[in-house]
Amino acid sequence: MEIPILKLKNILLTSIQSDMTDDDALKYQSDVVSTLEKSGSKGLIIDITAMDIVDSFMARVINETARMARLMGTRVVLCGMQPMVALTLVEMGRELIGVDTALNLDKGFDKLLEMIEEGVE
């Protein structure tokens, strides 16, 4: 399954779908970083609204993707985490998502623009 990576002005917008295999997730990760390099985007939005399961593997892939993008000088916002997903991640007892987050795509977009403008490190 190919995850579309959309370019909107200087931002890359990706929306991860719920039922990805591990291979899909790793392909998504490498697609994102190579598209970042080619497009020179200043921001990356990882939208997970459609995900109803985030296990430790998927959380690691999301986390690592965000860190890779940060290393390349891109601001990152993760948005759209479903309440049940947040609940499950916390109950599993691990700090799995180490990235700036927003409630939904709308708020995530605003937050990312702010971060880019302010040059927040």
**35 vs 49 by CB, closer to another protein:** 49
Beta bridge partners of 53: none
CB of 19 to another protein, least distance (A): 5
**8 vs 53 by CB, closer to another protein:** 53
CB of 104 to another protein, least distance (A): 19
Tell how strand 75-79 and strand 43-47 pair up: parallel
**72 vs 87 by CB, closer to another protein:** 87
Order of strands across the sheet that contains 101-102 = 5-8, 11-15, 43-47, 75-79, 101-102
Cα dist from 44 to 83, 88, 94, 110, whole Å: 22, 25, 24, 12
CB of 1 to another protein, least distance (A): 11
Tell me which residues touch another protein (CB under 8 A): 19, 21-23, 52-57, 59-60, 84-85, 87-88, 91-94, 96
Could you give the CA distance from residue 4 to residue 86 in angstroms, rounded to a whole number? Answer: 24
**52 vs 114 by CB, closer to another protein:** 52
Give the closest residue to 78 by CA, choosing from 52, 53, 35, 48. 48
CB of 32 to another protein, least distance (A): 20
